[in-house]
Amino acid sequence: MLVLTYILIAFGAYLLGSVPTGFLVARARGVDIRSVGSQNMGATNVFRVLGKGPGIFVLLADVLKGWAAIALARSVIHSHFADSVGLNETIAPILAGLSAILGHIYTCWLRFKGGKGIATSTGVMVALVPVALFICLVTWVVAFVASRYVSVASIAGAMTLPIATWFTTHDLGLTVVTALMAALVIYKHKGNVQRLRNGTENRLNFKKKDIAA
């Protein structure tokens, strides 16, 4: 019964994370976000192509997907295994969080091609390691202000995550999981890293919304 519950939690979290928010918002505006800008359906590309309103909406929706996946897992465990929560209260949310992130990055609705997982990972961290998240956000802001590259800020924040998790929780399991999350996010930025090396990565411009990146 418990194994089946884990499978259902993972599947439900994956489906929740796989909702292609950026794609749907852009399509509602008559734009295929996969063919403009950086061709990524994340909030940053939506911000650049469609403007602040749609970009902020996509950002918040993608964050909510990660948080909701954890909330769903905890609700299921407390509802069906109230007498033996214990370790299940740790394993189930972690499983749900990872599944939601994978759903966002590899959405089944768009041939398993999705976003880079930053916003959904943030939602997961809000629920699992809020203090570590705050440290990551500070790192993100400092790196962004210094470089004006969203990709540089995102990679810096991701690299900080497992370190901040360990020093704020001393939980080896959470540290390993956040390290895996960070590695996945950094891997999804490999194209940005290549553009940074080539000098072709564009900085985020708050005055123009049609910049390709």
Domain ranges of the chain: 1-127, 129-202
- Does the pLDDT at position 26 exceed 80? yes
Query: What percentage of the chain reaches a pLDDT higher than 90?
Result: 72
* Tokens standing for residue 205: 């411009």
Report pTM. Answer: 0.83
- Provide the 8-state DSSP code for 201: P
Q: Are 5 and 82 in contact (CB under 8 A)?
A: no
Spell out a b/e string for 6-33, using b for 16 or more CB atoms within 10 Å of the CB, else e: beebbebbbbbbbbbbbbebbeeeebeb
Mean pLDDT (the chain, rounded): 90
Position 213 scores a pLDDT of: 39
Mean pLDDT of the 160-182 span = 93
Q: Which residues contact 84 (CB under 8 A, 6 or more apart)?
A: none
- Does the pLDDT at position 19 exceed 80? yes
